[in-house]
Structure 1
Amino acid sequence: MAPNQLPAVLFAALAVILALAAPLRAGDPDMLQDFCVADYKSLKGPLRLNGFPCKKPENVTANDFFSNVLAAPGNTNNPVGSAVTAANVEKLPGLNTLGMSMSRVDYAPWGVNPPHTHPRATEIIFMLEGSLDVGFVTTAGKLFSHTVCKGELFVFPRGLLHFQRNNGGAPAVAISAFNSQLPGMQPIAMALFGASPQVPTDVLGRALQIDGGLVEAIKSKFPTKY
């Protein structure tokens, strides 16, 4: 090999190594101890790095690893006809640094879990009751959709826009699992029309190819959260 070819080969090898290493950073960081039960009381201010401070081990009890938050159905009496009940690190302190969480989603007949993303996690759903029409959209704009029935699974890749719809006249229930202790959820409609400060009307009008009056009418249905 010619001497002047060596830097190019080393650069190519480094690029391959970095490409292979990138997927290893896709989930929450690995912990370096048996557990780190979230100590909500010692958290001062909103700033934290991938988790809550740890409780002192002598103050940890079995209750820190237990929750019945998913036992009761959510209230689906709302405009979309669904309710998400999260079991993440904010509800179950023993999840802190473990890189996983769950949710229960209840659906009224024909109810919808509107298009949304989970920026920090991949999601897998398991149907407990009923059946759903589900789908996600790739960054290339392709829709992958399927009907998921009782006892079946479906996976939504991390960060991609997805939705679920109860396709029957009876209630449905699904359990979701995530590879993050706090996956986050960003409903698309709320992000566009309920942000505070508001996304400019002319920006939304041009993006959605609709007039400003219609944008304002839609915004009125999404009161700001903050």
Structure 2
Amino acid sequence: MEKQLVLLSLVALSFCNFAFADEQALQDFCVADPNGPVRVNGLACKNPMLVQANDFLFRGLNMPGNTSNPIGSKVTLVNVAMLPGLNTLGIAMARIDYAPWGLNPPHLHPRATEIFTLIEGSVLVGFVTSNPENRLISKILQKGDVFVFPKGLIHFQQNLGHGHAMAISGLSNQNPGIVTVANAVFKSNPDISSEVLTKAFQVDKHIIDQLQSKF
């Protein structure tokens, strides 16, 4: 009996290890290199004796982002690529600026939940639940409001005011990643075939061609 309990405990522990490994994934995939000396999901660590204060510093979130683009928004992301000290800490942040009626288009973060705080303006936010419900959950936010976008779900924000808006977001991964829906579908490299997209969207081919040309 004691041996069976030990065996069951080991099996349970192994499943826990798999679960934690999946939860802490820091990138889309990790291709194995059997000859490489380092095994890491993310970035290798700097020698701690060479660490400086600047490794934990990012400057510039006080500067408004340039929103003079077709969608009228700009995301200034602070992830591990910009702030090396974030490595393994599981957090990142962003400043989002919006021109009047500017949009942060539908997108998702494959590795992070996002907590969104509106600092200035009036902004419509929303996310869509997974299949089969595909339920839209949305709210109009005012200055000081906080909203959460669950990990991996498509979400968006649009400035509803006549002035600029600005928000700060926290993300639960040092490399949250972003998949912008329109870019992924109509700007893939190489292109997704028009036959696939016409059947998926149930529209004529010329509409798909027009959408792809815009990207």
2:112 to 111, 121, 133: 121
Give me the whole-angstrom Cα distance separating, in 2, the residues matched to 1:69 and 1:185: 21
**What is the CA-CA distance between 1:49 and the residue it aligns to?**
3.4
**What is the CA-CA distance between 1:23 and the residue it aligns to?**
7.8
- Could you say which residue in structure 2 is the equivalent of 1:58? 49
Verify the 8 A CA contact 1:84 1:105 in the aligned structure 2: yes
**What is the CA-CA distance between 1:73 and the residue it aligns to?**
1.1
**What is the CA-CA distance between 1:22 and the residue it aligns to?**
4.7
Give me the whole-angstrom Cα distance separating, in 2, the residues matched to 1:219 and 1:158: 28
2:124 to 128, 133, 137: 133
Q: Give the TM-score normalised by the residue count of structure 2.
A: 0.83
Please say if 1:210 is aligned against 2:188: no
SS at match of 1:58: helix
Q: Which amino acid aligns with 2:77?
A: A
Could you tell me which runs of 5 or more consecutive residues in structure 1 were left unpaired when the two chains were aligned.
1-10, 30-46
Could you tell me which runs of 5 or more consecutive residues in structure 2 were left unpaired when the two chains were aligned.
1-7, 27-37
Q: Which amino acid aligns with 2:101?
A: W
Give me the whole-angstrom Cα distance separating, in 1, the residues matched to 2:54 and 2:183: 35
CA distance 1:193–1:129, shift in 2 (3 Å): same
- Could you say which residue in structure 2 is the equivalent of 1:110? 101
- Could you say which residue in structure 2 is the equivalent of 1:83? 74
Aligned residues: 193
| Structure 2 counterparts to residues 19-38 of structure 1, below 5 A | 22=19, 25-27=22-24
Verify the 8 A CA contact 1:50 1:97 in the aligned structure 2: no
**What is the CA-CA distance between 1:144 and the residue it aligns to?**
0.3
Give me the whole-angstrom Cα distance separating, in 2, the residues matched to 1:186 and 1:48: 26
Please say if 1:94 is aligned against 2:91: no
Indicate the percent of aligned positions where both proteins have the same amino acid.
Answer: 50
- Could you say which residue in structure 1 is the equivalent of 2:144? 151
**What is the CA-CA distance between 1:71 and the residue it aligns to?**
2.1
1:191 to 184, 190, 206: 184
Please say if 1:162 is aligned against 2:169: no
Verify the 8 A CA contact 1:28 1:181 in the aligned structure 2: no
**What is the CA-CA distance between 1:148 and the residue it aligns to?**
1.2
1:103-128 deviation per Cα after TM superposition (whole angstroms, max 9, x unaligned): 11000000000000000000010011
1:71 to 58, 62, 67: 62
Q: Which amino acid aligns with 1:61?
A: Q
Verify the 8 A CA contact 1:70 1:86 in the aligned structure 2: no
